[in-house]
Amino acid sequence: MYEALFLIIVGAVIGWITNVLAIKMLFRPIRPFRIPILNITIQGLIPKRRRDIAKSIGDVVEKELVSINEIFDKLVTEENKQEVISIIREKLLKVIDYKIPAIIPFSIKSRIIDYFDDQINKDAMSILDSSVDGILSNTAYKVKIGEMVEEKIDELDMENMERLILSLTSRELKYIELLGGVLGGIIGLFQAVIVRMI
């Protein structure tokens, strides 16, 4: 009986410690550590594969999650366009009013301003749309969201990244640690059964 209990406890402790170490080794050691006698270099999985991970995340963000076109669509809404046109109209009409010589009669001046106002109302949206399309087509291939994400991840301090990931996944990681203990205990129970049978 005591032997079976001992094997279950030992199995649970070994399973739990194994999972705790496996989680720690995702990040630790952050910098490569060389064992001279064995000629082995040890480094945490995430720090070692940092560049590959950053590139993969950048690629996924750009290809699967968000593109420059989608960002542009969110930024340049119909409401925003109307605001831009309203600002342009106001500034243009002020400039026209200022530039028309004072000797021009008020009735003619107001007709000129009304004419420009009508033209702005009629053509501004199509001009703005074509300008936005032009800017987007010229910018889309220059702005690489994936590269930006990759650079930002690559610039992150590994200790801060570890702290961030562990704080976000602490509950799940605790379950993994406990699961290691439970599985270790079950293996210990099987060993106890086998020992009893032998």
140 or 74, higher pLDDT:
74
pLDDT of 140 reads 63
Say yes or no to pLDDT of 94 above 80.
Answer: yes
Say yes or no to pLDDT of 52 above 80.
Answer: yes
Q: How large is the average pLDDT for residues 71-76?
A: 71
CA proximity to 179, closest of 15, 28, 25: 15
Q: Which residues of 99-125 are buried (b: 16+ CB within 10 A; e: fewer)?
A: eeeeeeeeeeeeeebeebeeebeeebe
pLDDT of 18 reads 92
CA distance 186 to 14: 12
CA-CA-CA-CA torsion sign (153, 157, 161, 167): negative
Q: Per mean pLDDT, which range of 38-42, 100-104, 109-113, 133-137 is the poorest?
A: 133-137
Q: How large is the average pLDDT for residues 159-169?
A: 83
